[in-house]
């Protein structure tokens, strides 16, 4: 075998001949893919110590970006400058941006499309492999998620808690009964080996289940609606309806009774400080009629006194004089006037101007 020096000696003349030739022109840069350009921009920004909300991207895009960065090595200055210039030019050309993702689009369209259409779009998006259902589940209010922890299996509840942000999970766990909370907390310790696809399928099933709840046609429940109607119905009608409800569904009838607010309830449910608010929005002649009828009825007299004793003395005296001059009032006129007072109180309650005292708080 020839020695290493002899071998190098034979190569040297050829090497010197090559070195004597003029340097060849650098090869033309290879066109970069969009993924490679994205990796370069992300690497540059991170190298400057800046933070990027990469976690807001779908998981498949995060994985693709990390994989691309793993394949790349060195980028020359000219290529870097060209990519940055192209990126800046693209930013300057942007005239309008969209949120990206169905949740962002629905947030913008909130109030402009029906709840049925929104639910359908969420279900379709949840079936896509590009969407993480846990992003939507995390954004749901706690009251929507509580049934999952209360009614689903311990294992599903444990996965749900594990995927939620820690403060949200802690608040939900604190609302569970003691025994259930302990079982779910222990099950969390058994979720270490659950594969990501299983977790995603659980998220899809829960999202579909929660979105399948049909939209409500009425904001208030049946008890509140019946109670509101009976509030301004005549006494005889109210008694007849309640008697019929009692015979058909005793529990529902009892709930309706609690929801009813009539003139007789005013002294114990309308706070004294709120009386002037009610007086200001009622026509004085209507108020005089209502108070006149109430004062002549032993059961309703406390309500009349509640009004008169919680307004200015001057106005109270003026109303008392008008009531004395009013004389006898027809039953129909009296009921209409008292209904107008109740409606005014309910309007103020609905507007958040006052809060009626609940019977259970008395």
Distance CA 317, CA 118 (A): 57
Q: Residue holding tokens 């569904």?
A: 249
Predicted confidence (pLDDT) at residue 126 exceeds the cutoff of 60 = no
Please, which residues have CB within 8 angstroms of residue 227's CB and are 6 or more apart in sequence?
A: 256, 258, 259, 260, 261
The predicted pLDDT at position 344 comes to: 92
Distance CA 44, CA 38 (A): 10
Give the single-character DSSP code of 131. S
Give the single-character DSSP code of 221. -
Is residue 133 within 8 A of residue 126, CB to CB? The reply is: yes
Which residue ranges form the domains of the chain, and what is each CATH number? 32-80 (no CATH), 113-211 (1.10.220.30), 261-361 (1.10.220.30)
Distance CA 38, CA 36 (A): 5
Band of residue 4 on the pLDDT scale cut at 50, 70, 90: very low
State if pTM tops 0.75. no
Of 192, 190, 148, 205, nearest to 173 (Cα)?
148
Condensed to tens digits (0 to 9), the pLDDT of residues 246-285 reads: 888 888 888 888 788 889 999 999 999 999 999 999 999 9
């Amino acid at each position: 075998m020839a020695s290493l020096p002899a071998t190098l000696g034979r190569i040297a003349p050829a090497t010197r001949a090559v070195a004597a030739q003029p340097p060849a022109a650098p090869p033309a840069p290879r066109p970069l893919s969009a993924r490679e350009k994205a990796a370069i921009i992300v690497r540059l920004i991170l190298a400057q110590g800046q933070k990027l909300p990469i976690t807001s991207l779908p998981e498949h895009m995060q994985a693709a970006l990390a994989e691309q960065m793993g394949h790349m090595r060195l980028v020359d200055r000219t290529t870097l400058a060209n990519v940055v210039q192209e990126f800046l030019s693209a930013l300057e050309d942007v005239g309008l941006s969209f949120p990206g993702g169905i949740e962002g689009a629905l947030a913008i369209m909130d109030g402009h499309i029906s709840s049925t259409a929104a639910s359908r779009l969420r279900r379709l998006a949840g079936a896509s492999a590009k969407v993480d259902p846990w992003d939507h589940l995390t954004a749901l209010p706690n009251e929507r998620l509580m049934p999952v922890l209360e009614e689903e299996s311990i294992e599903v509840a444990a996965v749900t808690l594990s995927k939620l942000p820690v403060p949200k999970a802690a608040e939900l766990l604190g609302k569970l009964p003691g025994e259930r909370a302990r079982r779910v907390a222990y099950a969390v310790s058994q979720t270490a080996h659950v594969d990501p696809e299983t977790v995603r399928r659980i998220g899809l099933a829960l999202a579909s289940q929660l979105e399948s709840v049909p939209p409500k046609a009425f904001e208030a429940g049946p008890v509140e609606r019946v109670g509101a109607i009976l509030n301004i119905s005549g006494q005889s009608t109210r008694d007849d309806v309640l008697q019929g409800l009692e015979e058909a569904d005793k529990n529902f009838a009892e709930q309706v009774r609690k929801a009813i607010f009539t003139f007789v309830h005013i002294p114990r449910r309308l706070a004294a400080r709120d009386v002037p608010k009610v007086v200001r929005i009622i026509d004085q002649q209507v108020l005089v009629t209502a108070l006149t009828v109430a004062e002549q009825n032993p059961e309703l007299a406390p309500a009349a006194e509640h009004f008169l004793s919680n307004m200015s003395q001057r106005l109270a005296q003026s109303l008392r004089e008008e009531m004395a001059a009013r004389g006898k009032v027809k039953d129909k006129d009296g009921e209409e006037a008292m209904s107008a007072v109740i409606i005014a109180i309910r309007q103020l309650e609905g507007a958040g101007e006052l809060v009626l005292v609940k019977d259970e708080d008395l």
